[in-house]
Amino acid sequence: MKLPVLHGYIDRRMLVNFTADPAVVRPLLPAPFQPQLYQGKAVVGICLIRLRQIKPKGLPGWLGVNSENGAHRIAVEWEEAGQLRQGVYIPRRDTSFCLNALAGGRLFPGKHHLAAFDVREASGSYHVSFTSADGTSLSVDAQETAHFAPDSIFSSLAAASAFFEQGAVGYSPGTYGYEGIRLHARQWQVRPLDVLRVQSSFFEDAHNFPPGSIRFDNALLMTNIEHEWHGQPTKRRRANECCG
């Protein structure tokens, strides 16, 4: 089923980013994806996004839906039509929007897990956490700051912004393959965040990420961004791959 172009607003988008050992990340990626390396490191992370008035483009805003969403992401590259492409592979999506979870990703591609979110925001301070029915949990406490993370592998806020802007296409496991969607932001503007605490049962799973293989790098914030989502062709699974 081809998705309509979706239009709405990003109320808040937090990107909490880590570096990881490429040898650990590669087994987590299905073909044709490979980790996109930066300074020799794989880049993985969490996207915590609140969407407002999401609906097919052209319909009035009052018909739109609002939701809190969490995605665990891996920066990837792949060859397509003889060219190297960049984007993100999203092995795990969680959402407060029960229709999308029950409908198997009819509004947004990929399997979504229904989660209970706890969100508190005040005076540049953010707490976002969720717990899903299968026990997956995440919690982030962060504060807006004027200074980009000094220990980041990215030399500046501008360098980090450019890297994550090119990852606008995301693929997730779906019913028939890896279902894709592209973010078109009317403007791309990020601000630095100081992360006070971050906990992710996904990234803390030692089966996938052994101790010492993953390290916090930086965090970015976007707010009040008008945007569109455009569906991408599904990438079919290989015959020996099971569904996500």
pLDDT at 107 (0 to 100):
59
Residue 243's pLDDT band, with cuts at 50, 70 and 90, is very low
Residue 192 has pLDDT above 70, yes or no: yes
In a domain, 1, yes or no: no
**Beta strand 113-122 with 83-95: parallel, antiparallel or unpaired?**
parallel
In a domain, 241, yes or no: no
pLDDT at 136 (0 to 100):
95
In a domain, 242, yes or no: no
pLDDT at 101 (0 to 100):
53
In a domain, 104, yes or no: yes
Query: What total of structural domains would you count in the chain?
Result: 1
DSSP run (H or E) holding 96: none
In a domain, 244, yes or no: no
Q: Nearest 5 degrees, angle CA 14-CA 209-CA 95?
A: 40
15-50 pLDDT, tens digit per residue, is 999 999 999 999 999 999 999 999 999 999 999 999
CATH number at residue 224: 2.40.400.10
Residue range(s) defining the domain that contains residue 106: 6-236
Residue 65 has pLDDT above 90, yes or no: no
Residue 119 has pLDDT above 80, yes or no: yes
